[in-house]
Amino acid sequence: MSVTLVIDQAEKQFDIYPALRGVSFTVEPGELMALLGPSGSGKTTLLRAIAGLEQLDHGRVLFDDVDTRRLSLRERRIGFVFQSYALFKNMNVFENIAFGLRARPRAKRPAEADIRRRVGDLLDLVQLAGLEKRFPAQLSGGQRQRVALARALAIEPSVLLLDEPFGALDAKVRKDLRSWLRELHGRTGHTTVFVTHDQEEALELADRVAILNLGAIEQIGSPDAVYDQPESAFVCEFLGETNKLPVHIAGGQAFFEDMPVFRSNGQNHLGPASLYVRPQHIKLVDNGPLSLQGVVAHIRRNGAIRRLEVAVKGYARRLELDLASAVAPAVGERVAMKITAGHIF
Ligand SMILES: Nc1ncnc2c1ncn2[C@@H]1O[C@H](COP(=O)(O)OP(=O)(O)OP(=O)(O)O)[C@@H](O)[C@H]1O
């Protein structure tokens, strides 16, 4: 049932503001693609264009080589789950899930027994069996979103679109639903596009992540690729935490305050640049070549790890690094640091 979804040179402008600028990518059958980007980057516009709720100014959306402009909204068979629960308040869980099946034209509507069986299967799938008589007001937020997903799946969608489906839920419920959705997707295998603000969610859930900025794609790749090999300063800063050091590139080295601190592999760079370094890629050393000097200004807990903030001469902010060893230097102590990985832009 899964289709190949192709976005081909999508352009959309609202008044004078471009919301989508030449966006192209393919989502393979059964793939889960996350759209990630700051507010206003065009994620929702793109999702609505795939659903046929928004007309593109230029470009096409194809389902298995078929230009979707040739399909009616019904023929597109989109399963859409929004952030705010779009359940019918006056219908119980069973009727909410059955809605899409009952709304089919008479000739295509399944028999009542088939509808019951299908809804029963979906209730099992989203782990809500036994709650079919409840009304939306009698469910938790997480349960409502699971009903919304079951309702979207009921029509056997060719493409499943999820627009911040867990955005309104608290952190713990979000985390639970995240792994649940990953597992469910593994079993149902719909071609899925998932919009989120939450980078952790995108990196954990998606087969691939598309990062949007100002209506254009900055980078598309596996979670590992976008995180470990960011292709732009934007992606580097947007995904995860990073220090940004002003450096000067010469002779294959990055110099900070005239000190060589990192070997530059980008041979083309010369002159001023920024060196982006994640906190886990700076380690404390005894001293030595390519080492940075500083004074420990603060140590704080950051979940499982300890984060060191180091004041470094010539750096307006504090250099942040994650402490790998159990032994921590004291605040006020001088330390030498080595950068083990970084990106120069
Ligand atoms: N109906 C509309 N009329 C005018 N401008 C719009 C409309 N819908 C979206 N925009 C504009 O298009 C741009 C992209 O908006 P979009 O909602 O797609 O971004 P987004 O990445 O989904 O943002 P968010 O994460 O805040 O939901 C924004 O500048 C927005 O203001």
Pocket test for ligand 1, best of 43, 47, 162, 196 (most atoms within 8 A of CB): 43
The mean pLDDT of the chain is 90
68 & 105 share domain? yes
Q: What is the pLDDT of residues 131-165, one digit of tens each?
A: 999 999 999 888 998 999 999 999 889 999 999 98
189 & 213 share domain? yes
106 & 13 share domain? yes
146 & 58 share domain? yes
212 & 322 share domain? no
Pocket test for ligand 1, best of 36, 45, 161, 164 (most atoms within 8 A of CB): 45
Least confident span in 112-126, 254-268, 271-285: 254-268
Are β-strands 271-277 and 305-311 bridged in parallel, bridged antiparallel, or unpaired?
unpaired
Pocket test for ligand 1, best of 17, 50, 163 (most atoms within 8 A of CB): 17
CATH number at residue 83: 3.40.50.300
Q: Could you tell me if 158 and 99 are in contact, meaning their C-beta atoms sit under 8 angstroms apart?
A: no
Closest-CA residue, ligand 1 atom 4, reads 14
Q: What is the pLDDT of residues 289-321, one digit of tens each?
A: 778 999 999 999 877 788 999 999 989 899 999
CATH number at residue 287: 2.40.50.140
218 & 263 share domain? no
218 & 336 share domain? no
Environment class of 340 (CB within 10 Å of its CB; exposed 0-12, middle 13-18, buried 19+): middle
- The ligand 1 atom at the shortest distance from the C-alpha of residue 212 is 21
Per-residue model confidence (pLDDT) at position 85: 66
Residues 6+ apart with CB under 8 A from 91: 99, 135
- The ligand 1 atom at the shortest distance from the C-alpha of residue 37 is 21
169 band by pLDDT with thresholds 50, 70 and 90: confident
Helices (H), the chain: 43-51, 73-76, 93-102, 112-125, 141-154, 171-188, 199-205, 223-228, 233-238
Among 235, 258, 288, give the residue marking a domain's end.
235
Per-residue model confidence (pLDDT) at position 195: 94
Q: Tell me the C-alpha distance between 254 and 262, whole Å.
A: 5
- Side-by-side strand order, sheet with 253-256: 259-263, 253-256, 243-250, 271-277, 343-344
What 3-state DSSP class applies to 71?
coil
Distance in Å, CA 10 to ligand 1 centroid: 15
Rounded to the nearest angstrom, the gap between the alpha carbon of residue 267 and the centroid of all alpha carbons in its chain is 32
pTM of the model: 0.88
230 & 247 share domain? no
96 & 217 share domain? yes
211 & 229 share domain? yes
Q: Which two tokens stand for residue 300?
A: 């704080």
247 & 160 share domain? no
| DSSP-based helix, strand, coil % in the chain, nearest 5 | 30, 35, 35
Per-residue model confidence (pLDDT) at position 1: 65
- Percentage with pLDDT > 90 across the chain: 64
Closest-CA residue, ligand 1 atom 17, reads 44
Per-residue model confidence (pLDDT) at position 327: 76
Closest-CA residue, ligand 1 atom 2, reads 14
Q: What is the mean pLDDT of residues 237-253?
A: 91
Q: Which domain holds residue 330?
A: 243-344
289 & 188 share domain? no
Structural domain count of the chain: 2
Please give the full DSSP string across 276-338, using - where no structure is assigned. EE-GGGEEEESS-TTEEEEEEEEEEEETTEEEEEEE-TT-SSEEEEEE-SS--PPTT-EEEEE
Of 229, 264, 228, 231, the residue nearest 245 (C-alpha): 264
Among 173, 203, 235, give the residue marking a domain's end.
235
Least confident span in 15-19, 31-35, 146-150, 286-290: 286-290
ipTM for the predicted complex: 0.95
Distance in Å, CA 151 to ligand 1 centroid: 26
Among 201, 235, 269, give the residue marking a domain's end.
235
